[in-house]
Amino acid sequence: MSKRGLVLIVTGSIIILAAAGYWFKSARQSHPDELLVHADSCSVERPVPRLYGIAIDSFTIEEGIVKRNQTLGQILQHYSLREGSMARLVNYTKGIFDVRKIRTGNRYTVFLSRDSLSQLQYMVYEHSPVDYVVFNFIDSLNVDLRQKEIISRQKNVYGKIENSLWETVTHNNINPNVALEMSEIYAWTIDFFGLQPEDSFSIIYDELYVDTVSVGMGEIHAAYFRHAGKDLYAIPFVQDSVSTFFDADGNSLRRAFLKAPLRFTRISSRYSSARLHPILRIVRPHYGVDYAAPVGTPVYAIGDGRIVEAAYQSGNGYYVKITHNSVYASQYMHLSRFGEGIKAGVYVKQGDLIGYVGSTGLSTGPHLDFRVYQNGSPIDPLKMESPPVDPVKPQNLAAFDSVRTLTIARLNEIGPRGYSGQDFLSNK
């Protein structure tokens, strides 16, 4: 080969190498991640699968259910433990988790070493759908209380009343807590013992999940009830650093008095000026409302006030009387027993537990005889109008108007199919 040909080949090679170097440098500057992915694609490691935060690739896993009257010691005796582990476990868990309170039917998982000894390394006990306990037997004993990840899913729910709010919720596979929360929100404005067919409700709330299992309700974003031809909105608004519900006019849904002193029962007898007494068999006034309910049903004070009587009387049985102000008083009769600390002279707040339904005194069966007095004279509790408290302040009306407009628009989108729009996920 001539010297000229050799020079051309060498020169060409240098040019090609230089061009390749320039291209690699430019490409690395403009797409550094892309090049790294291609270079390392053969060495990417897959994530190790975990259970309760424990890598499971080094253990043999066994699962079980706590049997009736089974103790933690009885469960652990089936596994190989280091000498003295149980004694250390009992001492170590004091003040962290009471091992005597493991519950029948709850799950547990054990992690065993993959050697000939098959020793217990970890045990995980699920105390609730959310809470679990990790017992670590490796080297020195360690006990750790943990929680599963909770997912919040926003839900829009609609229901039409057939007989009662509770039946509507349960028959339509709606979270039963919806009935409880709705009764709390509208406790001052709706008589839930007087709901009518064709009444309806809508609610926007967060339902909490662990995996795919519902574990309760989170925040309530808005609610609506169509009752007796009236539209009753519940609009959340923060005032004075406190979030509460207001109606569309900016009045608080909270009232001076609750509509009823107990939940989810039925009215067995109404206020009347002439009623045949079921025991005495004579016609005389019945100045109260009878709520039929099982013995032991909690009874709550309808408003703030001072207890003036908490005693036993032959006709009334065990009863409590509360003076709320200079105008109103309420009385609760035929109780089976009083609430803790309930006695004459004690001041109670609205919603405080004052006693339990019974059948003491002149009574044919378990019920609460509930009475209200205005200026010393009995009135029909079901017709008592209670004024709202703490309306939206004038300086907050502009902010409330914006919240109200958006909230009502969202509620009006929820139709009879029980769902409208999307579910929104977030981690709690």
Tens of each residue's pLDDT in the chain, 428 residues = 544 444 444 445 544 444 445 544 454 454 444 444 444 455 566 777 888 888 888 899 999 999 998 888 888 888 877 666 666 776 777 778 888 888 999 999 999 988 888 888 899 999 988 999 998 888 777 888 899 999 999 999 999 998 888 888 988 888 888 998 998 898 888 888 788 888 999 999 999 999 888 888 999 999 999 998 899 999 999 998 888 999 999 999 888 888 889 986 678 676 555 455 455 455 457 788 899 899 999 999 999 999 999 999 988 999 999 999 878 899 999 999 999 999 999 999 999 999 999 999 988 889 999 999 988 889 988 888 777 778 999 999 999 999 999 999 999 888 654 434 334 344 44
Give the residues across from 159 on adjacent strands: 201
pTM score of the predicted model: 0.62
Question: Are the C-beta atoms of 111 and 59 separated by less than 8 Å?
Answer: yes
Domains for the chain: give ranges and CATH numbers.
50-147 (3.10.450.350), 151-255+393-427 (3.10.450.350), 266-383 (2.70.70.10)
Tell me the three state secondary structure of residue 30: helix
Question: Are the C-beta atoms of 272 and 250 separated by less than 8 Å?
Answer: no
Backbone angles phi, psi at 405, to 5 degrees: -60, -45
CA distance 125 to 110: 9
Closest CA to 210 of 284, 149, 259, 263: 149
Give the residues across from 204 on adjacent strands: 156, 222
Measure the CA angle with vertex 404, ends 214 and 394; round to 5°. 130
